[in-house]
Structures are given as C-alpha cells and as structure tokens.
Structure 1
Amino acid sequence: MTSSRTRRRGARSPGLAAAGAGLLLVPLAAGCGSGGSGGSGDVRIGVPAPLSGDSASAGQDILAAAKVAADEVNKAGGVKGKKIRIVQADDQCSAQQGAQAAQKLLNSGVVAVAGGYCSGAAVPAIPIYGRRNVPFVMDASTNPSLTDTGKGKVFRTCGRDDNQGLVAAKFMTGPLGAKRIALLHDNTTYAKGLADAAAASVKQAGGQVVYEDALQPGQSDYSPVLTKIASTKPDVLYFTGYYAEAGLLMKQLGLKFTLMGGDATTDSTVLKTAGSAAEGYIATTAPLAKDLPAASAFVSAYKAKNGADPGPFSVYEYDAVKVLAKVIGQTGTKGADIIKGLHGVKDFPGITGPITFDAKGDRTDPLYITVHVQNGAFTAYKKLDKSGAWVDAKSS
C-alpha cells in the first residue's frame, strides 16, 4: 500500500520495478543535457529534491543551499561568463516521482545534477541521467548501491551508509557501553540499508542485535512497537528512519533504554515535534553547517537569503554545486567531459572539507560524527580521531 510517507529519502513507490516501467510513459527530449547550456546561454544545473510531502523541509533546504552557491558563482562572473541557473524538480522522495523528476530535468536542458535527498528516489533516476552522460552529484543520498552501480557517473559530497553504520556501532558499543542493541527502520532504501550496515558492524564489534524490524511510517502511536522492542531488553535502540517518526519516538519512549538515530533525524523539525523529550537525543551524522568553521560565510548568506538557519544537508548541496561549477569552468558543458573532470577532482576546497572522489565517485574522506540535543539544539558531540579514540567533535 502506498501512503503519504513514501515521499521520503529512501522511500519506494509500489516497487522500483514499477517505477522503471513508468519511464516508458515519459518522452525523451532530443539532445537535452548532452552538451548544451540552455537556449538563454546559461549553464543549467538540476536540483531534484522532495519539495512537497513529509520531507519537504529537507528538500527546500537543499534547494535554498543550491541557490546560495549559484548566486556566489554568478556574482563572481559565472562559469566562463555564463550564469548558473538552478532548475528544480520535486521528486517527493518516491521512486516514481524520482524518475519523472529526472526526465523533467533532462527536458529542461540541464548539463549536470546536484541534489538527491532520498536514496529510493535516486535509484531509478541514476540510469536516466547515465544514459545521457549527465553527471549526478548527490548531497544526501547515502545508500552504497548508488555509487556502486553508478558506472562512474554518480558522485557524492556526503558519505555512505556503510561508513555511518560502522561509526554508529562503534559509538554504541564504545562510549555508550551497549551490549544489546535494537535496530528499527521503516523499510525504505535508506533506512533499511543503514540498519543492515549497523547490524553487521555491531556484530563485528562484539555486540548483539536483539531486534531488527520496521515500523509503519505515518502512524501517530508507536508505543506498541516500543513495548515490543523493550521486551528484548536492549541497551540502545538505533532508529535509522526519518525525522517525523523520530520525534514521535522521542515523545513516546518512556522506557529504560537509550534512543539514538541516523542522519535523517537531525532536521530541526524533529525538535519541534519532540519538544523537551528531545533533550539528550544522540544521532550519527555528517558535520552540521554550524560546526564547520569554513561554513560561516555560507551560514550567514543562507540566513540572510532565507531568514532561517541552514539544515543538515545544506552544506553538502552547496559543495556539490560549487564543485560542478569549478569542473564545468574547466571542461565545458559536455557531459562526458564533466564526468571526466569530476574524476580528476583532488582536494577541492569545499566548506565540508577537501573533496576528492574515488573511482566509484565517493569521497575519499567521508566523516561521520555524533551530535546530541543540548538546550533544544543539535550540538556536535563526539568523533573518532585518527587513532580510533572518541574525542570532542568540536576539536580540530
């Protein structure tokens, strides 16, 4: 059954195969994205994101960050004298809409794509872009399969769920001292992938997975699920789903074990949902904008333009647009040349840190930390240093 909660980062519409079949209904635009820069002489970069539905807060944040990056490039002279134009498409975090958004962007003449909050929406979009040699630089879609099967045309400024799952397992079995760990997901591509990665890493770290199952997204009462989990006597429950459910879980927990979450639970909306129950909540995530010294100018520009603080994936979208602008300025707008140029990127000075892509298109230096809620805000907490010790995440 399809519910409103299919519009999310890892969501599946009624099966990815069905979404693939639906592609036949969308006409191809001749020549779009294969080397042009738009009839108006601009350089068009597509931004697919959930602009409506339950994950719209994250999608609107990603779009806003892309526009900040484009504005900066344009004010500095653009790309070889041409302005970047951001072309948006609402993928609603579903496979079917992800495919349609991809075709819409190609029809709009984009030469590259930067975005993608939902892994489930990215899965069917990737081959659509790939067939036209349009590179896709993802800012938040973290399922490992996306770059593993992307044929070298898919890149990430964010990390991968196998990296995040490892960090989560080490933190739960290390600083938290957990032996018995419960894993709760929502059966989406992202959430189940992160739960499975965490399960494998927990076992390698000597912990015991006492529960791994899915909740039904979009419900108002998760106390039956929490009661069932409590019966397995976990030390920690690691929830790998999204912020809407995370907020409710915090409010309804009322049980004697720790609740921890993944990077899709760090949107500020969760704090509004959970209220005071969020205090002390821990999540694994890539560093947030406010905790990155190099992002201070971006944070100021974002707030000035949008009247709000940037969200958790904003800086990764900003870097995705910036690295594309840099490469397009060097290679021109032909897709195959942009892809080759991205593979040649080495230590690009991103505000999230130096960016170098490996052969698959993943960052060579993915970083995950833990954050916790202090005084009603997500705050950097702990990270692993080079020796494998947990240290203050705010330290250099």
Structure 2
Amino acid sequence: MKRLMLLCVAMLAVVLLAGCGGGEEKTAGEGKVLEIGSISPLTGPYAADGNDIKNGALTAIEVVKSEGGIPGFSDITLSSQDSACDPRQAVAAANKLINEEVSGVIGAYCSSATIPASETLAEENIVMLTPASTSEKVTERGLKYMFRTCGRDDDQSKAAATFIRDFLKAGNVYIVDDKTTYSQGLADNLEKLCPEYGIEVLAHDHVNQGDKDFSAVLTKVKAANPDVFYVSLQNSATGALMLTQAKRMGIDAEILAQDAVYHPQLMEIAKDAANGVYLTFGYTDKESESYKRFLDAYKPKYGDPGAYSAYAYDSAMAYLKAVKQAGSADADKVRQALLDMTFEGASKRIDYKSNGDSGSNYVIQVVRDGEFVNFWDPQTGEKF
C-alpha cells in the first residue's frame, strides 16, 4: 500500500511539473507551436487600419509557412486582439496575450494604445514590434523589447515643414488636430518647427475624436485664408469627412495631411474632395521584388493593402526571421537577432537600431485620379 501511495505521489509530481513548464514548451523545442499576437483596432472608427495590420501579420505567417516554416516549430499561429485605440482596452489585450503565452506581438496602431500595452508586455519580457505608432515616446522610454518598423513623428514633421517652405513656397499655415497622442504630437512638432522654417502659424486648433461636423473649425480656417491647411487626424474616414466639408465650404488653400489618412477609403468617402490633397508617408518602392512578393500574397485574400499592411507584414516577417536566426523564441536571443539583421522589406529596408527604431523615409504623396502617387522627395527637393 505504501509503495502504491508513493507511486501516486510521484506521478502527481510529474504532472504538476509538466503543467508548470507549459508556457516554455509552447514556444520552444522540436515540433512546438510558435504563438504570436497582434494588437490593433478591429472595431470602431479605426477598424480599417487595424484589420490591415492583422492581415499584414497573417500574410507574413502564411508566406513563411509556405516556404517550410521555422525549424523546431510545427506551426505558427496569430492571436489577434482588439485595442479599439483605447489605452485601457490595449492593456487588457496585452494581458490576454500574456495569458495565451505568446512570444511576440505585432502592434498596435494608435500610439496612445501602443505605449501602455508595450509597458505591460515588457514586464513579461515579450518582444513588441509596432508597424504604425509614430510618436517619439514609443522608443524613447528605454524598453528593451520595443521595436518600430514605421517612421517617427519628428521626422514626419520635418518633411512637412520642408515641403511647405521649399515646394509650396507658403508663408503661413493653419493647423488642426484631433487631440490624440499621435495627431496632436505630430501637429505640435510642426508648430514648433515653423518659426525655424520661416512659416507663420495662423492658428493651431483642435477637434474631438468621433466628430462628424467640422463646420465650426472650418469656418475659422476659411476666415483666416491660410496658404496651407494642415490636417492631422487619426484616421482616413475622419480625414475624408474633413476634406469633403472643406471643399463644400470653399476653402481655398493647399491641404497637407499625414500618414494616418493614407488608406483607399479616403478616396472612397471623399471622392473628388480628396484630389490634389498632399500627405506625408514613408516611401515604398512598389516596383521592388519584395513589395511585389508581399502584394501577390496579400491581395488575393485581403484586397488592396491599406496604409500599414506592408509595415505589419515587415514587422511580423522581421520577428519570424529573428526567431529562425536565433533558433529560439527566447526574448533576449530574438532581440539580438533583430538588431543584427538587415533585409529588404515590402515597405522599406529593415535595419533596427539599438533603441528599436528602423529609421524614417518620409516623402510627399498626392491624391491623383483616386490614387496615392509619390510626388516630392524632401531629401532631394525633386519631384518623382
């Protein structure tokens, strides 16, 4: 009887030990599943961009799996969580992914969601790569496992100021933002640069997230009669409403927007009101082999790419390449592999620096005949 009891205790101990080690077994070892997560707004006003991010990450996984996967892992899965661009919901999404024992996260979209979510993930040593959050604060907090594939607000603001001064030859600007971390941060940066660039800021006004009637602020813009109307809003749907109402009101100014309005739905909603609008966005060579490879995998399943589809694809691809190079999903090994690698991505050349940034390459695009077209390079001062 004693021997039987000892055997039962020993067997129970084995079961308990196996259960305690489950998290590590799911992400390391021969034949295990590599589980990664994504955080982005899958519902609400930013859902178009959020689903683009999810789909970009899924496309990278599909491409890697079609090429034989990653040695040591039998499968790669993605758990997509909805942030709704809300800080509290983003933290809840991060905690859910932690409970699911993911080893890396792609996201988020809004900087106001990425910042708190990344702090939660950092506590568990989980690598995070954002394809869309441009606030400088994302990579200036010293988080060891935080990486950014897109550019930064301060660099985007310089591109905008250079365009206003050197190409448009404009003397003044009227700035409007929607008070989000991203939009206001970008607008604030431009306002600070304007005196240095010889540009007068006639006013810096604000609207609220979710507003649909912009007549009050647009009345002030029209009365000011600016050379340039700078629109810094969090998404393309809101931007489309602003453009439509500005055209209807007869505002006669060059309109310059930013990367958050870069989405096919801008033209779908605004139609003719979008034509001739300029915006800052990272340069992507759509004739490159890496972009064509991405497009061939993405478009049949998800349609035309959105603003951050390629950046999300590159973020996920970088993570998967790093796991393969490291031979492990261990955070420190993956981090080092990310810092060591360079490759031609779909969106840009990927080369992460020690602070997690990958550099900025902003150019000016213009909406022409319902499409975004590369227009002017701030680095060279030349048209494309």
Q: Same fold (TM over 0.5)?
A: yes
Distance 1:240 1:369 in 2: 16
Change beyond 3 A, Cα 1:256–1:108: same
Matched position secondary structure for 1:46: strand
Matched position secondary structure for 1:204: coil
Distance 2:23 2:161 in 1: 41
**CA shift digits 1:65-100 (9 cap, x unpaired):** 111110111111211142221111011111011101
Q: Does 1:311 align with 2:306?
A: yes
Partner of 2:294: 298
Q: Does 1:100 align with 2:70?
A: no
Equivalence map 1:40-119=2 (5 Å): 41-82=32-73, 83-119=75-111
Change beyond 3 A, Cα 1:33–1:174: farther
Of residues 239-248 and 190-199 in structure 1, the stretch that sits farther from structure 2 once superposed is 239-248
Partner of 1:245: 238
Of residues 252-261 and 95-104 in structure 1, the stretch that sits farther from structure 2 once superposed is 252-261
Q: Which amino acid aligns with 1:383?
A: D
Q: Does 1:323 align with 2:318?
A: yes
Shift of residue 203 of structure 1? 2.1
Partner of 1:142: 134
Partner of 2:10: none
Partner of 1:8: none
Distance 1:33 1:157 in 2: 28
Distance 1:166 1:391 in 2: 16
Distance 2:25 2:344 in 1: 26
TM-score, normalisation: structure 2: 0.88
Q: Which amino acid aligns with 1:148?
A: E
Q: Does 1:37 align with 2:30?
A: no
Contact 1:289/1:311, CA 8 A, preserved across alignment: no
Structure number having the greater helix percentage: 2
Change beyond 3 A, Cα 1:181–1:325: same
Partner of 1:12: none
Distance 1:177 1:293 in 2: 37
Contact 2:32/2:72, CA 8 A, preserved across alignment: no
Distance 1:35 1:204 in 2: 56
Matched position secondary structure for 1:159: coil
Contact 1:70/1:84, CA 8 A, preserved across alignment: yes
Contact 1:116/1:140, CA 8 A, preserved across alignment: yes
Contact 1:33/1:335, CA 8 A, preserved across alignment: no
**CA shift digits 1:15-73 (9 cap, x unpaired):** xxxxxxxxxxxxxxx88977841898211111111111111111111111111110111
Q: Which amino acid aligns with 1:329?
A: K
Distance 1:211 1:137 in 2: 35
Instruction: Indicate the RMSD between aligned Cα atoms, in angstroms.
Output: 2.0
Shift of residue 199 of structure 1? 1.4
Q: Does 1:197 align with 2:189?
A: yes
Task: Name which one, 1 or 2, has greater alpha-carbon Rg.
Answer: 2
Distance 2:251 2:324 in 1: 55
Shift of residue 341 of structure 1? 2.3
Partner of 1:273: 269
Matched position secondary structure for 1:77: coil
Partner of 2:4: none
Distance 1:143 1:382 in 2: 23
Contact 2:214/2:245, CA 8 A, preserved across alignment: yes
Change beyond 3 A, Cα 1:163–1:32: farther
Partner of 2:16: none
**CA shift digits 1:333-362 (9 cap, x unpaired):** 1112212222223x2222223221112100
Q: Which amino acid aligns with 1:316?
A: Y
Is there any run of 5+ residues in structure 1 with no aligned partner, and where? Answer: 1-29
Partner of 1:22: none
Change beyond 3 A, Cα 1:196–1:64: same
Partner of 1:259: 255
Distance 1:68 1:186 in 2: 32
Matched position secondary structure for 2:256: strand
Q: 2:355 aligns with which of 360, 371, 375?
A: 360
TM-score, normalisation: structure 1: 0.86
Of residues 213-222 and 56-65 in structure 1, the stretch that sits farther from structure 2 once superposed is 213-222
Is there any run of 5+ residues in structure 2 with no aligned partner, and where? Answer: 1-19
Partner of 2:114: 122
Shift of residue 201 of structure 1? 2.1
Change beyond 3 A, Cα 1:216–1:33: farther
Distance 1:38 1:271 in 2: 45
**CA shift digits 1:263-321 (9 cap, x unpaired):** 00111111122111111111111135746553012112211122x11111111111111
Contact 2:285/2:348, CA 8 A, preserved across alignment: no
Aligned structure 1 segments of 4 or more residues deviating by more than 4 angstroms = 30-36, 288-293
